[in-house]
Amino acid sequence: MTDKPRILAIAEAANPEWVSVPLIGWSLAQALRDVADVHLVTQIRNRDAILRAGLVEGVDFTAIDSEAIARPLWALGAKLRMGEGKGWTTLQAVNALSYPHFERLVWRRFGADLRAGRYDIVHRITPLSPTISSPLAAKCAGIGVPFVLGPLNGGVPWPRQFDAERRKEREWLSYVRGAYKALPGRKRTLRHASAIIAGSRHTASELPAGMAAKTVYLPENAVDPARFSRVSAPAGAAPLRACFIGRMVPYKGPDMLLEAARPLLESGRVQLELIGDGPLLPALKSSARGVPGVTFHGWLAHGDVQEVAATTSLLAFPSIREFGGGVVLEAMAMGLAGLIVDYAGPAELLAPGTGWKVPLGDRAAIVEGLRAELTRLADAPEDVAAAGQRARAEVARAYTWPRKAEQILQIYQWVLGRRATKPDPLSEHAQEDTHAAE
């Protein structure tokens, strides 16, 4: 083996020009090149964007054409979702049918190389969904090549107080989602994986008890410092300037935020910048007609979001069901404090001292909690600024893509026997930074 581990990185979704999971797959695979010798294997639909990014096909990456199966099933999933951006659980169920074919093609292309010892580790980066099995795990185990699975994230239960929002999102399959645990492919995948990266505490809790010894907790999201280089610089200490960034849909809570902030907007103590588009936008605009201090920016290109967000000091993001919550990290990277609902992904990312969490409850309770915090923070701009500074430092400490690569390198070293103890990447970085400060 060379000093740098040789990684066959499987990221079916990896695209530098898209957002969400494809951008995570791409960003992580690219970051790993600084610490490992990486060959990326992805789906053919990502090929052109990767070539435009400067990678060399056949040297840096391989594009696998699984469209014969993937395309018709993707089309079926789009119909079953009954709306763009809806029915996420349905889409993952369809993906679970098509994805194993992709890995069979990967094995056909790289099986001989793996048997010949040309790669030290196979790492499945995407799909992130813990419901989708990996036939490669058993094949790798059979030839003695470690298989790293993850980060896995998903399946956060819908809060019982928001069942109406669940139905609006066409999440019919989420009522029976737990059935995936009985799938034989899932059990075989977990059994043969050398290490499992859990992207959330919830995902880790849903793994069988016997998997704990090889499960490492590490959230999947991180920030590219080059993409989020602006630093929060609101004009003056008052009024409190806050922003919302996300789809305008019920479960992300922009309507709850607007209702909570209304009296503060009317009194001039708060200004609110809402960034995003979606089915709720017309109703939100109608509700805010005549209310001062509210600006609707609609959809903005990913690179333009920071231009607006940097004029604020607080991300107000009361979503009640986020797996990852990457927008929270992006805001933190710009020095924005966070105001979120204490549930799922955002609650794990918002470290102590970097923002405030409103307890999960029904709609009225969340609105009341948001209003109380906004009222208090409008009178304490110094607290918001200090939390924003700590948020920016926290991202630099543990949540940039270069940091993520270093964290995963610890896992590689562990499965290769180069370190004796299972890593705890987030706490180990905290210890390293403490020693450096001393």
Nearest to 154 by CA among 220, 75, 78, 215: 220
* pLDDT at residue 44, as a whole number: 97
* pLDDT at residue 158, as a whole number: 79
Contact call for residues 16 and 2 (beta carbons, < 8 A): no
- Which fold would CATH assign to domain 6-222+401-437? Rossmann fold (3.40.50)
Q: Among positive and negative, which fits the CA dihedral 25, 28, 31, 36?
A: negative
User: In which element (H, E) is residue 402 found?
Assistant: helix 401-415
Give ∠ CA 148-150-151 in degrees, rounded to 5.
Answer: 140
Measured CA distances, 118 to 38, 110, 123, 161, 413 (Å): 11, 10, 14, 52, 17
* pLDDT at residue 234, as a whole number: 85
Contact call for residues 98 and 71 (beta carbons, < 8 A): no
Contact call for residues 269 and 239 (beta carbons, < 8 A): yes
* pLDDT at residue 427, as a whole number: 85
* pLDDT at residue 125, as a whole number: 98
**Digit-coded pLDDT (tens) for 265-301:** 999 999 999 999 999 999 999 999 999 999 999 999 8
* pLDDT at residue 1, as a whole number: 44
Q: What pTM was computed for the model?
A: 0.90
- For the chain, residues with pLDDT lower than 50 are 1, 87, 172, 175-176, 179, 430, 433-438
* pLDDT at residue 303, as a whole number: 79
Contact call for residues 9 and 29 (beta carbons, < 8 A): yes
Q: Which CATH number fits domain 240-397: 3.20.20.70, 3.40.50.300, 3.40.50.1000, 3.40.50.2000?
A: 3.40.50.2000
E strands present in 66-218:
121-126, 147-152, 195-198, 215-217
* pLDDT at residue 237, as a whole number: 72
User: In which element (H, E) is residue 8 found?
Assistant: strand 6-11
Query: Which residues make Cβ contacts (< 8 Å) with residue 394, sequence separation at least 6?
Result: 332, 351, 354
Query: Which residues make Cβ contacts (< 8 Å) with residue 127, sequence separation at least 6?
Result: 12, 13, 21, 92, 95, 99
Query: Where in the chain are all domains bearing CATH 3.40.50.2000?
Result: 6-222+401-437, 240-397
* pLDDT at residue 302, as a whole number: 80
* pLDDT at residue 379, as a whole number: 95
> What is the distance between the alpha carbons of residues 398 and 421, in angstroms, rounded to a whole number?
20
